[in-house]
Copies of this chain bind each other. A is one copy, B any other.
Amino acid sequence: MSDIQNADPLLTECRNMADRAKAASRGLAIAPGSAKDGWLRRSARAIRERSAEILEANARDVAAGPGFGLNSAAIDRLTLDPRRLEKIASSLEEVAALPDPVGEVIAASRRPNGLDVSQVRVPLGVVFMIFESRPNVTVDASAICVKSGNAAILRGGKEALNSNLALYRVLADGLAPSGLPADAVQLVATTDRAAVGHLLGMPDRVDLAIPRGGESLIRRVVAEARMPVLKHYTGNCHVYVDADADLAMAVKVVVNAKAQRPGVCNAAETLLVHRDVASKFLPLAADALQARGVELRGDDATRAILPGIRAAEPADWDTEYADLILAVGVVDSLDDAIAHINRHGSGHTDAILTRSLAPARKFVAEVDSAAVVVNASTRFNDGGELGLGAEIGISTDKFHARGPCGLRELTTTRWVIYGDGQVRE
């Protein structure tokens, strides 16, 4: 009570919002899949029908972008157009087509005393999603939360507020007509940052926080959150070329891992090469990488083979460039490669190129990362590529979820026990 009397209005507003979300989460947890999928499809249609309203709101954000100090890349991320809006709409239909994770029976047995026990997948409850300037996250996050039976509280970047509000209105308008709780999705409309801190301080009302954005946003959320946080830091990923790798395949894979989309977390940052093939492989790789505009930074052994490249500093081995830069090192053995990766890597995605079974098995067993890849690009550590459907990021934590986080990773489990009067002796 004194708690409430002393509260500032924003804290009270946040608490009320979280209480409404918690109440909605109870209805959502038992909502049939047909209602959730109906809302997803209805929302896709509504985005198409109300595209003018959404694009107009987005144009206001884009016009104000330079005033927020957004550079051209940030403005591009913020900008919607009919093509991007159609992609957002169709992503809702893709989520609708995924199986409902809620109610999945993970294990079930009849115990010797006749009890029927089962472990069943259920939603977490209330998810608080904090994100930066891409307005599509408003829709993606709402879709994945509702489909997994969780109420969502969304907080986007202030520079995308008009776009987020327009998209949110389209989504929210369809909830009640679809038979879902009207508060299943809520948007924090204030730009006051204190609202984020308030909501992160309510572990009884909010079950999970998900920051989606740069490392500074994630660190801030981790520092403030009193509930679990599903994090996806960017990755320091490695490609290791073993002594008997198919070198043409290795060139193709390392170029893809580094250059196909250098800004993402599953792009490679370091290339390690076995000493026995370094003098043959490195010139081939360097040619192909440099043709794609990649800057190489090598250790002494690499620079003995590729004298023109810049020397790698110690910090290079720990750096996630997220750019067209690649650190290159020569190792004496598979063991040295594994030790290097476990020491410098971020536990995200690491790949080996080899034609031999034993090194492949050893690499898979001993590299302690969310995904280990044999003879393919690191870029495959992705929810869509692994068959999960929609994802909200790639966790490098070990607890609860590791790797791409899809619908299942937004659920928990519970035990259901049916008996006919059993008691414990």
Contact = CB atoms under 8 A, between A and B. Distances in A.
Interface of A: 26, 29-30, 109, 111, 115, 117, 119, 124-125, 207-208, 228, 246, 249, 252-253, 255-257, 260-261, 342, 360, 364-366, 368-377, 379-381, 385-387, 397-400, 402-404, 412-424
A386 B117 contact: yes
Contacts of A249: 420-421
Number of copies: 2
A415 B246 CA distance: 23
B252 A377 contact: no
Contacts of A111: 385-387
Contact of A370 (B228, B379, B414, B419): B414
Contacts of A376: 115, 417-423
A379 B415 CA distance: 13
Given A399-B208, A413-B403, A417-B380, A117 B387 contact: yes
Q: Is the interface of A mostly helix, strand, loop or mixed?
A: mixed
A210 to B, nearest CB: 12
A94 to B, nearest CB: 15
A361 to B, nearest CB: 10
Given A111-B385, A424-B256, A424-B377, A414 B403 contact: yes
Minimum-distance CB pairs A-B, first 6: A376-B419, A256-B423, A400-B400, A249-B421, A371-B415, A228-B399
Nearest to A397: B228
A419 to B, nearest CB: 3
A418 B252 contact: no
A417 B374 contact: yes
Given A374-B418, A385-B111, A399-B228, A125 B368 contact: yes
Nearest to A108: B387
Given A400-B399, A403-B415, A253 B386 contact: no
Nearest to A254: B423
B417 A373 contact: yes
Given A342-B26, A385-B111, A364 B424 contact: no
Contacts of A260: 423-424
Contacts of A228: 228, 397, 399
B424 A413 contact: no
A379 B421 contact: no
B26 A416 contact: no
A55 to B, nearest CB: 30
A252 B109 contact: no
Contacts of A398: 124-125, 207, 412
Given A111-B385, A124-B398, A375 B415 contact: no
Nearest to A400: B400
22 contacts: A29-B366, A30-B365, A111-B387, A115-B385, A117-B380, A207-B398, A207-B399, A252-B423, A370-B414, A372-B415, A376-B417, A376-B422, A376-B423, A377-B422, A377-B423, A380-B417, A380-B419, A381-B415, A381-B417, A402-B414, A403-B413, A404-B415
